[in-house]
Amino acid sequence: MKAMYKFLIHILITSLVLVPFSLNAAMISTDKVFKTEQSVENKNKVLEFFNRTDVVAKFESMGVSPQMAKERVNAMTQAEVNQVAKNIDSLPAAGDLTITTIGWIGIVLAVGLIAWLLNK
């Protein structure tokens, strides 16, 4: 029995000496973890956007199938996905209502109110 243990110990020692260690551990920075997590979230956000019914209808009206749009999203680089995700967040929800448009609406309402008061 001792001979078997001695033989096993020699094999283990020889394998430790001859087989190089290929593993190494390092700390992962918070920035790297955050960027990876943010990248996954951005990709999911873009894919969810392309799954919306109004977006699918718009693509189909332009002759692009939803599957082809998803394939194009999967072929994008991470920088492109991040840019599209940023644009999704900055798009207005109900159209482009700028200060100028609000000003014109206010002027039209004021003129209408004055005309209504003069006719009364």
Band the pLDDT of 22: cuts 50, 70, 90.
Answer: low
Predicted confidence at residue 98, as pLDDT, reads 66
pTM of the full structure = 0.49
Predicted confidence at residue 93, as pLDDT, reads 55
Average pLDDT, the chain: 80
Predicted confidence at residue 95, as pLDDT, reads 56
Please say whether the beta carbons of 46 and 84 come within 8 A: yes
Band the pLDDT of 36: cuts 50, 70, 90.
Answer: confident
pLDDT in tens, 53-104: 888 888 888 888 888 888 888 888 888 888 888 888 776 555 556 677 777 7
From the number of C-beta atoms within 10 Å of its C-beta (0-12, 13-18, 19+), residue 39 rates as middle
Give CA torsion, residues 56, 60, 64, 65, to 10 deg: 60
Given a cut of 70, whether residue 23 has pLDDT beyond it is no
Average pLDDT over residues 24-42: 80
Please say whether the beta carbons of 88 and 82 come within 8 A: no
Predicted confidence at residue 118, as pLDDT, reads 84
